[in-house]
Amino acid sequence: MRILLVEDHTELQHWLSKALRDANLSVECADNGADADSLLLTQDYGLVILDLTLPRMDGLEVLKRLRARGGKTPVLILTARGGLEDRVQGLNLGADDYLAKPFELAELEARVKALLRRSAGNESLVYECGALRFDTVSRMFSYFGENLQLTPREHAVLEALITKGGKPVAKEKLFDQVFSLADDANLDAIELYIHRVRKKLDRKEPGAAAITTLRGIGYLLQPAEAKA
C-alpha cells in the first residue's frame, strides 16, 4: 500500500519518509497542497499523511476536495496547530486521525498501521498482553495457550481492558460495558468481577497478566512483570 506524505518542510519530509520506508512502507511525497490535490486526483493511495500548513493550498482544503470527490482514502493529519478547534475542524472535514507536532515516531507508525489495516478492511485483530491473547473474530481469550474460561461478565471486563492496549480504563466506562441499564448494580460491583478475573489470571510464570487497581480512577491490564 502506498502512502502519500504531504509535508512542505523538506527536512521533516525526508526523515519521516525514511522512517516509514524503514518500516517497509512505500512512500510518495508532495511538498505543497496543489500537487497533493492533483496526485490524489490521479493516483490511488492507501493513506494520506497530510500537514495542514501548506503552500499553494491549505491542508484542510486538500482534505475537503478529496472528500467532496468521494475519495475514501484514510487521512492522518499532522499539524503544528495544536488547538482544539483545528482538530475538530479537521475531523469534521473527514480526517481519520490527528497527530500534533512534535510526535513520537513510534506513535506515528502505530497510527499509520492502524489506519492501513482499517482501510484494507482487515478487522481481524489479536490483542495481546503477555501470555494473554484475545481474538476479535472468534472473541475468545487464551492464556498460556489454553482457552480461558470466563463468565459473560468476566469476559466483558477482560475484553474492555485488553482492547485498551495497555492503557487504563475508567471504572465508570468498565461498568457501562459490563452492566446493562436494566441491571440494578452498584458501581462497586465491578470490583467483584475484577477480583474474580484477577484470580483466573494469577500465575507465577513470566508472561502472566495482572490487573492493577487505580483507586477511584480505574483499572489497568498489564504484563505482571511491568508492575514492579
Binding site for another protein (CB under 8 A): 9, 11-12, 15-16, 18-19, 22, 80-84, 101-106, 166-170, 212, 214-218, 220, 222, 226-228
Cβ at position 219, least distance to another protein in Å = 9
**Separation between Cα atoms, residue 60 and residue 51, nearest integer Å:** 9
- Quick one: 19 or 156, whose CB is closer to another protein? 19
- Quick one: 11 or 146, whose CB is closer to another protein? 11
Q: Closest by alpha carbon to 220, among 136, 179, 162?
A: 162
3-class SS at 92?
A: helix
Here the cell at position 171 is 471504572
Cβ at position 161, least distance to another protein in Å = 13
Here the cell at position 186 is 452498584
Cβ at position 72, least distance to another protein in Å = 28
* 10-22 vs 105-119: helix crossing angle, rounded to 10: 60
Judge contact between 95 and 76, C-beta under 8 A: yes
**Separation between Cα atoms, residue 93 and residue 43, nearest integer Å:** 21
Cβ at position 11, least distance to another protein in Å = 5
User: Please, how many CA atoms are within 13 Å of residue 26, restricted to the half-sphere of its CB?
Assistant: 5
Cβ at position 228, least distance to another protein in Å = 5
- Quick one: 102 or 121, whose CB is closer to another protein? 102
- Quick one: 65 or 87, whose CB is closer to another protein? 87
Judge contact between 207 and 131, C-beta under 8 A: yes
- Quick one: 104 or 184, whose CB is closer to another protein? 104
